[in-house]
Amino acid sequence: MHSFHYTSDSLHCEGVDLETLSKEVGTPAYVYSATTIRDNFRSLHKALAPLKHRICYATKANSNLAILRLLVEEGAGFDIVSGGELFKVLRAGGRADQCTFAGVGKMPHEIEYALSQGVYCFNVESEGELDLINFIAGKLGCKAPIALRVNPDVDTPTHHYISTGKNKNKFGIGLDRAEEVYTHAASLPHLTIRGMQTHIGSQILTATPFVEAIKKLTPLIQSIRKRHALEFFSIGGGIGIVYEEALASGDPAWWKERKNGAQLSAEDYASAVLEPLQQLELPIFLEPGRSLVGNAGVLLSKALYRKETPKKNFLIVDAGMNDLIRPALYQGYHEIVPLQRHPNRALEKIDVVGPVCESGDFFAQERMLSRMEVGESLAIMSTGAYGFVMGSNYNARPLPPEILIEGKKVTVVRRRQSWEDLVRGEIIT
Ligand SMILES: *Cc1c(COP(=O)(O)O)cnc(C)c1O
Q: Is 33 in the pocket of ligand 1 (CB under 6 A)?
A: no
User: 409 pairs with which residues across the strands?
Assistant: 406
Amino acid at 168: K
DSSP letters, 6-48, are EETTEEEETTEEHHHHHHHH-SSEEEEEHHHHHHHHHHHHHHT
Pocket perturbation via mutation, ligand 1, pick of 44, 55, 202, 285 by most ligand atoms within 8 A of CB: 202
What pLDDT, on a 0 to 100 scale, did the predictor assign at position 169? 77
Tens of pLDDT, residues 349-400: 999 999 999 989 999 999 999 999 999 999 999 999 999 999 999 999 999 9
Q: Give per-residue pLDDT as tens, 127-155.
A: 999 999 999 999 999 999 999 999 999 98
Report d(CA 11, CA 31) in Å as an integer: 12
Taking the centre of ligand 1 as the mean of its atom positions, its distance from the CA of residue 59, in whole angstroms, is 9
Residues 6+ apart with CB under 8 A from 85: 59, 60, 63, 78
Strand pairing report for 16-17 and 409-414: unpaired
State if residue 290 touches ligand 1 by the CB under 6 angstroms criterion: yes
Using an 8 Å Cβ cutoff, are 69 and 414 in contact?
no
| Element at 273 (helix H, strand E) | helix 266-278
Distance from the alpha carbon of residue 202 to the mean position of ligand 1, in angstroms: 6
CA distance 117 to 155: 36
Residue of 67, 287, 295, 383 best suited for mutating to test ligand 1, as the one with most atoms within 8 Å of CB: 287
Q: Name which residue sits closest to atom 3 of ligand 1, judged by CA.
A: 237
Distance, C-alpha 104 to centroid of its chain:
18
- 85 Cα: distance to centroid of ligand 1 (angstroms): 14
- 60 touches ligand 1 (CB under 6 Å): yes
> Could you say which residues of the chain have pLDDT below 50?
249-260
Q: Which 3 state secondary structure label does DSSP give 159? A: coil
Instruction: Check the CA dihedral 78-82-84-90 and report its sign.
Output: positive
Phi, psi of 43, rounded to the nearest 5 degrees: -65, -45
For residue 126, the CA-to-ligand 1 centroid distance in Å is 18
Q: Is residue 120 packed enough to be buried (19+ CB in 10 Å), middle (13-18) or exposed (0-12)?
A: buried
Contact criterion met (CB below 8 Å) for 297 and 335: no
Report the residue count for the chain. Answer: 429
Ligand 1 midpoint to CA 31 (Å): 22
Q: What is the pLDDT of residue 253?
A: 46
Q: How far is the CA of 429 from the centre of ligand 1 (A)?
A: 41
Predicted local confidence at residue 261, as pLDDT: 52
Q: Of 403, 404, 401, 378, which Cα lies nearest the Cα of 391?
A: 401
Helices (H), 62-176: 65-74, 83-91, 108-117, 127-140
Q: What is the reported pLDDT for 278?
A: 97
Where are the alpha helices (H) located in 147-263, listed in sequence order?
A: 178-187, 208-227, 252-257
**Residue 240 Cβ contacting ligand 1 at under 6 Å:** no
289 lines ligand 1 (CB under 6 A): yes
Domains of the chain: 4-31+295-417 (2.40.37.10), 102-287 (3.20.20.10)
Task: Give just the sign of the alpha carbon dihedral 375, 381, 384, 388.
Answer: negative
Does 298 sit in the ligand 1 pocket, CB within 6 Å?
A: no
Strands 29-33 and 16-17: unpaired
- CA atoms lying within 13 Å on the CB side of residue 334: 33
Nearest to 407 by CA among 24, 1, 13: 13
Which of 387, 406, 412 lies closest to 3, judged by CA? Answer: 406
Parallel/antiparallel/unpaired status of strands 402-406 and 409-414: antiparallel
| Residues with a known catalytic role | 357
What local confidence, expressed as pLDDT, does residue 1 receive?
A: 73
Classify residue 187 by burial, with Cβ atoms within 10 Å: 0-12, 13-18, 19+. Answer: exposed
Would you tell me how many other CB atoms lie within 10 Å of the CB of residue 128?
Answer: 9
Among residues 167, 170, 105, 155, the alpha carbon closest in space to that of 132 is found at 105
Determine whether the shortest distance from the Cβ of 238 to ligand 1 is under 6 A.
yes
> What is the β-pairing status of strands 313-317 and 284-286?
unpaired
In this prediction, residue 254 carries a pLDDT of 41
